[in-house]
Structure 1
Amino acid sequence: MFNLKKQHTPSPHSKLIQELNDNARTTENALNELNRADERHQQSETAHKAEHITHRGKSVAHWLNSYWSRLVNLIVNHDGDDVKEVVDGRVALDATIHPTLNDRLEYDFDQFEKKVNDMLSVVSLQPFLNKYGNFTKALQAALDLSKNRPIWLYIPPGGYTLRERVRIYKNTHITLQAGATIKRGFVGSMFVNGDSNESFTGYNGHGNLIIDGQGTIDSMGHEIKQQCSIFGFAHASGIIMRDLTLKNVCGGHALDCAGNENVMIDNVTFEGFADYVGDRWFSAAVQVDLMRSASNFGAFGAYDHTPTRNITMQNCKIRKSAELGGYPRAIDSHTSTDGVLYSGIRFLNNKVYDCTEWAVSGNKWQDVFVDGNTFENCSGGVRTLLPSVSSVYTQDKNGNPTGRVNKTKRHTITNNKFINMSVDHAIQVYGRKGYQTIDHVAIKGNQIDGTTRHGIHVSDVKHFVIEGNNMENIGHHGVLVTRSTRGKVHHNTGRDIQGNGVRIEEGNCDYVSVDDNTLEEIGFSGISVSGDSDYVQVDKNTIMNAGKRGDDYDFILFMDGVKNSAVRNNTAIGKTGRYGMYLTSKCSSIQHYGNRLKGAGKVSALNDKSVDPIRTVENIT
């Protein structure tokens, strides 16, 4: 930038002359620089390129090329009425010249389609059906588009038969529209997310998948009686499956979910399952698995023991179909590897009917949330567990036995309804005796009406709360606590329980509190504690008509090995039991006072044979 002096000093005269001379030099320099810039501009090869000048939204070069091509091919004096093709019409939008007008139009359309394809492509299956005349080939051809770009494929209403396995690739959204039904017409599983020669690690496979719509996929297990699964997905991050009906699976799973993360299964109906051979008694509608071996997931690898994590199954129905019976399990894991856990398992607001095994069975699950579900006419309800130390599922990644079992934590089972569990318990959380515990367990607000075995069972658990559950028509114990420590069983209600209302057993049940429960019409003892346990507190419970099934049961019973514990402020009502409270001779240091036992028991209200009983409210020092 050049600046001239604008305010001059008239006196002294010499100062004025100096300022004028400076301005003259500055002006001369500016004019010289302007002249040099003009010369550079004139000599530059790119200063005046037509591509750099815009006219009517396009470059001048575009217009020049277009008009030049049209001029070259111009038919002079064409009047628009003769039969000759106007050569001008063969010039495409990018000024290229084509043999015929049809070639030019196809070329322009291809260029336009290419631009659209750079974005998400919405694809209808119908053109592929028209081209191939075969549903399987048409579907695979449409899905192959996703190898190059994201696609959203619409399958229109109609009946279709799949003749061989179809492969789905990353960034694919399939919408099976209402009225569309895909039936299996071959032996084998129907859909997998990858080719057999591919190999992925972690969650780096074909992910970002959405399968939705209101259509139906029928595996036809009532006619094709060889094992299959509908979907087998592995090594993926991001799977959404919603609003579908998946039916009639034989032997396998509706979804085999092996080594995936961030999975959502929402409002899907799973109906109909058959096990003709008799070796798939454990199959689940949704299997939560890890990439352990080809025998677990055979479509492709790698088998790096990647576990499934962060999976939510919600608002689904699992039931019989018109053709086949119910699934053994709704959701399940049964394989595992040492040092690898499944985590972030959420099973919410589902309705599960007629399962022939445990409806929910989670092996080595961590951060589990089972809430708001209904289980009806199932063999068993919800079970989370650890594997046996001698099983192959405690081996390391190289197949070597470890002799250990991994701990899991944070199991929450709340607000579920269990109706008629025909073989097993409604709820079981099961660690491994002598090896490992499951920690931080909350079982709250469940309604249990009808079990063949226990209402709630925790075994080898540490830090647990069993609270606010309602139990009725229980075939064995209402609440069974086995070798579990630092927990509370409180604010529960139970009636018509054939076994003990609450049983604490087999020792190692230190620091367990049983308080403020209401138990009514109990076959065995109302509250029974046995085994070497310290600091068991039984307080403020109300027990009505316990001991109905024999003369050896009591309202409250402390047996051999219990010590440094307390029984306080409980109420026993009824003449059905042997004693209102019975403390055996091998109990010691049991504090008991304030219990309302008058009139309870057929023999007597109280039988205290314990060693060093504490019968006062004084501090124990």
Structure 2
Amino acid sequence: MTTPPHHPARRNLLRVAAAGAVSAAGLAAATPAWGRTTAAPASPPPGLSDPVQRGDLVVDVRDHGAVGDGVADDTAAIQAALDEGRGRTVYIPPGTYPVSTMLTVFGGTTVLATATTVIRRTDGPSIVGNGVLGDMTATGFDGESDIVIQGGVWDVNASNVALNGNGFSFSHGRNIRVYDVRVRDVQGWHAMELNAVETVRVVNCRFEGFSDPQGNRQYSEAVHMDYAGGPGHFTLFGAPDFYGCKDVEVSGCYAGPSADFPSYPRLVGSHGGPDGHQHTGLRVVSNYADQCTEWAVRLYDWLDGVVQGNQIVGGGGGIQIGPAGVQTGGNVVVSGNTLRGLAGVQEAAGRPPDAAICVGRLNNARTHRLTVADNVVEGVAMEGISVYRTDGCVVSGNVVEDCEGAGIRLHDAPRAVVTSNAVARTGGESIVVADASNAALVAQNRADDATAAGVRVTGTVAEVVVRGNVVRGDAAYGIAIGAGATGTWHTGNDLRGGYTTGPVDDQGSGSLTDPAGVA
């Protein structure tokens, strides 16, 4: 997990938190007159101490009439505190605060809640946003910005509110930080909607429970990245100017079931944008996806993206990467992730489940410059790693075991490098190089106990190199080369397996086996 960057509001927050270690009487004695409030502090709920003291830096929602008893509607009181708290810290102490429409947090504001603070939605499309509902004037990244939200339980309350809703809605802003929040029981939409935003950090948050009573939101994400596309995308506030997301990191977060609802379909995902409006500089790092029912991480139209160190356990699919059919994606690194126990995803009738790590099967657009390295894929009811319609990819150092399909597949992936992978006990081939994956290199891999072949070159494909691989087990063949392959060079492979048919089946034309290769 990355360390949250230093931020002026963050420093103020730490000073405020430190004040909580001082008794109220001692603080009053030590604080100059300009740092004191005239109103007597309200008492916290019975049994709970108040960790934050009022002062010029802090606006307490109780001073504006918030009750926090779980019954009274605290919307107006909290909004009044947020209005006053621009450029300051707004404190929401322990208690349960019903809110009946979206709260607006303005630029330069820090919102601080405790682990026993519950903000509960009773109506409205979101609990909190960085805009005013219906105000469509913000453009680009120039809306309400420099916002910090830390702590609290943000209850979207799917058990009692029949409308779809978000926990947080951020649009047309920059420099937004969300730390240590818990969002539970979202219906239909997202724990966090990021729409046309720049420089956002979502750190150490928990997203628990998702409800889909209509059965038509099987693609919803806990953290959703979208572009400002108007109807059909984000319509709460901000101009439909087609901006995407830039410099966004989601790290150290958890998505899973709550006490009342199953996990989200996805932990993190995005919609594609029109040509020229890709999402750029996105990072999904060191998160835990528990029983996500669809793709735990799904990347549409990403440029310069990192998916690293995530754990994806149970549920449907793992990581899917691909353009949305408008523009190419690329410069993406998928490394150090673990994926196990996935049941597969059936995205379209008649199409087989995809791979645990799947690239480019969405449509005919292409991906460029991709690295899939050092991942562990175990026990999945689909293929392990598949790369489609991708130019210049490296698939290296992965461990793939006990998958129902091929371990690693290339399809229309010219100049791909597949090296130093360990593949064992697959329901198909260990490694497949298929149509138009011209000049691919398959080298120094270990393939054990494939059902079909250790390495298969198939379809219309030219000048594939297969060398230095170790193939063991009782597959039909160690290496199988189809009739559509031309100029395959296979040499120096260790094929001492107990093959049911033979070590090599070469039906291709112009194959080379001389260790020296082409003179």
Q: Same fold (TM over 0.5)?
A: yes
Alignment partner for residue 298 of structure 2, among 343, 361, 381? 361
Structure 1 residue 415 corresponds to structure 2 residue 351: no
Residue in 2 aligned with 1:71? none
What amino acid sits opposite 2:341 in the alignment?
Answer: N
1:399 aligns with none
- Per the alignment, residue 49 of structure 1 pairs with none
> Secondary structure of the equivalent of 1:142?
helix
Q: Separation in 1 of the partners of 2:35 and 2:288?
A: 51
Residue matched to 2:142:
204
For residues 19-30 of structure 1, the aligned pairs below 5 Å read none
Change beyond 3 A, Cα 1:319–1:136 = same
Deviation at 1:308? Answer: 0.8
Looking at structure 2, the residues matched to 203 and 273 of structure 1 have their Cα atoms a distance apart, in angstroms, of 29
For 2:289 and 2:67, how far apart are their aligned partners in 1? 42
Partner Cα distance (2:236, 2:56) in 1: 28
The 8 Å contact of residues 372 and 417 in structure 1, kept in 2 or not, is answered as: yes
The equivalences for 1:251-330 within 5 A come to 251-330=188-267
Output one character per residue of 1:31-61: Cα deviation in whole Å (capped at 9) or x when no partner.
xxxxxxxxxxxxxxxxxxxxxxxxxxxxxxx
For residues 192 and 56 of structure 2, what CA distance do their matches in structure 1 show?
Answer: 26
Structure with greater helix percent = 1
1:430 aligns with 2:360: yes
Question: Amino acid of the residue matched to residue 190 of structure 2?
Answer: H
CA contact (8 A) 2:201 2:249 kept: yes
TM-score, L = length of structure 2: 0.84
Q: Is residue 192–residue 299 contact of structure 1 (8 Å, CA) maintained in 2? A: no
- Counterpart of 2:384 in structure 1 is 455
Q: Aligned partners of 1:493, 1:113: CA distance in 2, in Å?
A: 66
One of 483, 489, 501 as aligned partner of 2:418? 489
| Deviation string, structure 1 residues 140-174 (Cα, Å, up to 9, x no partner) | 0001114xx40211111112211222111111110
Say yes or no: does 1:503 pair with 2:426.
no
Cα distance between partner residues in 1 of 2:483 and 2:147? 59
Q: Does the C-alpha gap of structure 1 residues 197 and 619 become closer, same or farther in structure 2, counting only changes over 3 Å? A: closer
Aligned to 2:62: 126
Which residue does the alignment assign to 1:535? 463
Cα shift at 1:131: 9.1
Look up the equivalent residue of 2:60 and give its one-letter code. S
Q: 2:327 aligns with which of 406, 418, 436?
A: 406
8 Å contact 1:294–1:301 — kept in the other structure? no
Shift of 1:532: 2.2
Indicate yes or no: 2:405 matched with 1:476.
yes
2:19 aligned partner? none
CA contact (8 A) 1:504 1:529 kept: yes
Deviation at 1:134? Answer: 4.7
- Residue 112 of structure 1 deviates from its aligned partner by 9.4
Instruction: Identify if the C-alpha distance between structure 1 residues 245 and 489 changes in structure 2 by more than 3 Å, giving closer, same or farther.
Output: same
Q: Are the counterparts in 2 of residues 525 and 577 from structure 1 also a CA contact under 8 Å? A: no
Any idea what SS the aligned residue of 1:428 has?
A: strand
1:207-251 per-residue CA deviation (whole Å, 9 max, x = no partner) reads 1111102x2111111232321111111000111011111110000
Change in 2 beyond 3 A, CA 1:540/1:429: same
How big is the alpha-carbon RMSD for the aligned residues of Structure 1 and Structure 2? 2.1
Whole-Å separation in 2 of the counterparts to 1:294 and 1:484: 36
- Which residue number in structure 1 is paired with residue 154 of structure 2? 217
**1:325-347 CA deviation, whole Å, 9 max, x = no partner?**
01000111124212210011100
Match of 2:444 among 507, 512, 516: 516
Q: Give the letter for the 2:395 counterpart.
A: I
1:583 to 495, 506, 515: 506
Q: Are the aligned partners of 2:180 and 2:203 in contact in 1 as well (CA < 8 Å)?
A: yes
Q: Which runs of 5+ in 2 are unaligned?
A: 1-32, 39-54, 345-353
Instruction: Check conservation: 1:441, 1:464, Cα contact below 8 A.
Output: yes
Q: What does residue 98 of structure 2 align with?
A: 161
Equivalent residue number for residue 83 of structure 2: 144
Amino acid at match of 1:444: A
Alignment identity in percent?
26
The equivalences for 1:3-18 within 5 A come to none
Which of 478, 485, 506 is residue 555 of structure 1 equivalent to?
Answer: 478
Larger RCO, structure (CA 8 Å, separation 6 or more): 2
The answer on whether the counterparts of 1:432 and 1:460 sit within 8 Å (CA) in structure 2 is no
| C-alpha distance in structure 2 between counterparts of 1:151 and 1:187, whole Å | 26
Q: Please say which of residues 222-231 and 516-525 is displaced more in the overlay.
A: 222-231
Residues 73 and 99, structure 2, Cα contact 8 Å, conserved in 1: no
Give the letter for the 2:258 counterpart.
S
Task: Return the alpha-carbon distance in structure 2 between the equivalents of residues 224 and 199 of structure 1.
Answer: 29
- Using the TM superposition, name which of 343-352 and 567-576 deviates more: 567-576
Cα gap change, 1:367/1:546 in structure 2, threshold over 3 Å: closer, same or farther?
Answer: farther
Uncovered stretches (5+) of structure 1, i.e. residues with no partner: 1-108, 389-404, 548-552, 593-615
Larger Rg: 1
Q: In structure 2, do the counterparts of structure 1 residues 187 and 465 end up closer, same or farther at CA, with 3 Å as the change threshold?
A: same
Instruction: Report deviation, 1:372.
Output: 0.7
Corresponding residue for 2:9? none
Does the aligned pair in 1 maintain the 2:110–2:149 contact within 8 Å? yes
- SS, match of residue 485 in structure 1: coil
Within the candidate set 473, 478, 496, 1:545 is matched to: 473
Determine helix, strand or coil for the equivalent of 2:383. Answer: coil
Provide closer, same or farther for how the CA distance between residues 112 and 572 of structure 1 changes in structure 2, counting only shifts above 3 A.
Answer: closer
Change (3 A) 1:494 1:166: same
Distance, in Å, in 2 between the alignment partners of 1:235 and 1:142 is 23
Q: Evaluate the alpha carbon distance shift between residue 568 and residue 441 of structure 1 in structure 2; reply closer, same or farther with a 3 A threshold.
A: same
Decide whether the 8 Å contact of 2:272 with 2:323 is kept in 1. no
Equivalent runs, 1:85-104 vs 2, <5 Å:
none
1-structure distance, mates of 2:147, 2:167: 15
Q: Which runs of 4+ in 1 moved over 3 A?
A: 109-114, 130-134, 616-621
